[in-house]
Amino acid sequence: MTWHIIGAGSMGCLWTAQFLKANMKPVLLLREQRLRSLESDAPSLSIDELDGTTHHYPIQLASPETVTTPIDRLLVCTKAQDAEAAVHSIEDKLSDHCQILLMQNGMGSQQAIAHHFRSQSVWAASTTEGAWIKDFLHVCHAGHGSTWIGPIGRTPDEQAWKNLKHSLESLPFDIHFTDQIEQKLWDKLAVNCAINGLAALYDCKNGELLATQERKERLAALTREVTHVRKAVGIKTTGDLFELVQQVCRDTAMNNSSTCMDARQNRRTELAYINGFLIEQAKKLGIETPENHFLMKELAELGIQ
């Protein structure tokens, strides 16, 4: 029942901590160079819990080069732009029946991985759990949420569903399984298309996007374009996406979006898999997305890509 986790950011560390709590002995994969640079030969993972307590767990670390056993369960928690390369870096260690669970913002990377890894079962997740990295291997659980998981690409057989459910059932998380994961990914895409780029542009907290009429109108216009493209792709819309976007702004009012943080640290953002993905889909369908185009142009002018 061993899960290997690739990506030691906030989600990777948060999920690894849940596997540790459930006594499932996960293995966290790091880059070879990072692994070698560690001074401790008894590393631990720390988590600040929502109740204010901090727990430390001894953790097994490895790198794609040093991991020996065939991997049967792989959780991918890298940024969207790193996901394909991360899974390829470990390709020769994956068993044929490996369950690959992808937890990226945006869309496009999940489909590309599902297309390549046809003998394995590929699943995508969409989560509203909140976490941030305090330090290397030290995560802060910032808010309880829910996680939806469903197959992407080829439909897995019943046994694969059973195995996946069984391997996640003892985690202390609110997990839902669905055969409509694309709907959930599109919901999250609407939230990310509206919030992430704008928050990076204005260099502000998510809640501050509701602070002026101009910002609210931009949020609404971006969301309208996602709704339009989503409909044309054939994804059912349940509920009002703009209401969802505003709710996320309120729920995460004091947070900086991941894109805003990437921009501040001059890191490449996930925008190509968020607004970029939307623009690409719209183009294929002959739909105009001027608000998303304009936002990407403004961000590019600031050197945010």
**61 or 198, CB closer to ligand PAF?**
198
Tell me the two tokens of residue 68: 């020996």
Report the nearest approach of ligand PAF to the CB of residue 75 (Å): 18
One-letter amino acid for residue 272 of the chain: A
Percent composition of the chain: helix, strand, coil (DSSP 3-state, to 5): 45, 20, 35
Q: How far is the CB of 180 from ligand PAF (least distance, A)?
A: 20
User: Shortest approach of ligand PAF to residue 261 CB, angstroms?
Assistant: 8
Beta-strand runs (E) in 64-166: 71-76, 94-102, 121-127, 130-135, 138-143, 146-151
Residues in touch with ligand PAF (CB under 6 A): 105, 191-192, 195-196, 206, 248, 252, 255, 257-258
- State the Cα–Cα distance between residues 221 and 199, nearest whole angstrom: 15
Minimum CB distance to ligand PAF, residue 293 (Å): 20
For ligand PAF, the closer of residues 120 and 269 by Cβ is 269
| Angstrom distances, CA of residue 101 to CA of 121, 170, 243, 304 | 8, 17, 29, 29
Residue 62 vs residues 36, 38, 47, 66, 99: alpha-carbon distances, Å: 10, 11, 20, 6, 19
Nearer to ligand PAF, 132 or 177 (CB): 132
**AA identity, residue 196:** N
Residue 173 backbone dihedrals phi, psi, to 5 degrees: -125, 160
Place of tokens 């069984």: 166
Going from the C-alpha of 288 to that of each of 19, 137, 229, the distances in angstroms are: 44, 43, 9
For ligand PAF, the closer CB: 86 or 219: 219
Which of these is catalytic: 188, 216, 231, 236?
A: 188
Burial of 238 (0-12, 13-18, 19+ CB in 10 A): exposed
CB of residue 78 to ligand PAF, shortest distance in Å? 14
Nearer to ligand PAF, 144 or 284 (CB): 144
> Could you tell me the smallest distance in angstroms from the CB atom of residue 81 to ligand PAF?
13
Q: Which is nearer to ligand PAF, 255 or 289 (CB)?
A: 255
Q: Is 188 annotated as catalytic? A: yes
Catalytic residues: 188
